[in-house]
A = this chain, B = another copy of it.
Amino acid sequence: MALIVQKYGGSSVGSIDRIKEVAGRVARTAEAGNKVVVVVSAMAGETDKLIDFARQLSPKPSEREMDILLSSGERVTSALTAMAVESSGHKAMAMTGRQAGIITDTVFTRARIEKISSERVKKALDDGYIVVIAGFQGVTRGEIDITTLGRGGSDLSAVAIAAAVKADLCEIYTDVDGVYTTDPNIVPEARKLEKIAYEEMLELASLGAKVLQARSVEFAKKYKVPVVVRSSFNENPGTLVVEEDKEMENVVVSGIAYDKNQAKITIVNVPDKPGIAAKLFDSIASADVIVDMIVQNISSDGKSADISFTVPRTDSDRALEVTEAVALELGAKRVDKREDISKVSIVGVGMRSHSGVASRMFQTLAGHNINIMMISTSEIKVSCVIDLKFTELAVRVLHETFGLAG
């Protein structure tokens, strides 16, 4: 007998019929002799509808109220799913984030989990209930205010609860079959991975492969929660996200990610003196823009520098405005912005023990006349910023170069 946490995303519970199917799967898992905790998202479209309502009422709705608003969608699904599970002949109990003991800090709309007081969940399991928890939400210490965990937060709820109740497995049900070597819409030969290391999944998640929220992967890694990503629309086995093992290290590159929602800003010929980067990125951070890649080069005369960085495209106007103000102050020549760029990355824990991976990537891109504008690397990742229109080509040729097809 195992203790299994199952998380169902918005499309998996997107209609009453889908909720019935989820209840069937939950029931079968219980009938196979397992204890089951279910974590659910809001029905597909609900959260967007509520956000749209809020925007119609206020250009900048209060975040505390936003969390009362948005947490309602998951509550609805948890109640409905519990009813459906009960109809299938099992005892079921719905719980809100508060009732499930998910205690967070007070940063509304993107709260961090501080603690899980899982006594009530454990008691319900001991009493023979299948527990159905509203994902994405928590409550501040002292049970004062309702918080939400940010987009994709239900993944985090599931992993955190799995860690708290010491579950044997955390299954994340979504509308794709698992984690692929790359986007199958671009590369039809993309192969589903049987297994992937936490670190790799983390890079892929942050790089825009949307199967699993990045913070939930960090959490799973920290507490060593085995996670499976699989589809609620079929019985395929999915991808297991676990600690790195020998086998994984033999694979140089596990997957290829891309991100088309970036913009690049370059501040040209800024007189090179200490503190210019600090000044620039301080100002950008104050404008609440998250900077991804940063590259700085000194000009040939050694007296001025060019600094390029990337930001989410939706924030690029704001970033440009701030950068232009700073540029003026620093005496830079000009500021450029490009929106027609993308970031393509190769990821793999095998890179740690294999050399020459980055240069093979650069060569492959060069071999197809794809110009590299920026490069950024980590231990297990190499990212290149390229012209937007070459994104698909780059993904395809890298997929081939690193032998990722089935």
Contact = CB atoms under 8 A, between A and B. Distances in A.
Given A65-B83, A82-B65, A76 B50 contact: yes
A121 B109 CA distance: 23
A91 to B, nearest CB: 10
Number of copies: 2
A148 to B, nearest CB: 12
A67 B185 CA distance: 43
Contacts of A311: none
A79 interface: yes
Interface string A89-100: 000111010010
A45 interface: no
B83 A62 contact: yes
Interface string A128-162: 00000000000000011110000000000000000
B68 A78 contact: yes
Nearest to A144: B99
A79 B83 contact: no
8 tightest CB-CB pairs across the interface, nearest first? A69-B79, A72-B72, A68-B79, A65-B79, A58-B87, A61-B83, A57-B84, A57-B83
A16 interface: yes
A57 B87 contact: yes
A57 B23 CA distance: 10
Nearest to A74: B72
12 contacts: A16-B56, A57-B80, A57-B83, A58-B83, A58-B87, A62-B83, A65-B83, A65-B92, A65-B94, A72-B75, A72-B76, A75-B75
A187 interface: no
A75 B69 contact: yes
A19 interface: yes
A357 interface: no
A78 B69 CA distance: 8
A113 B221 CA distance: 46
Nearest to A61: B83
A50 B64 CA distance: 25
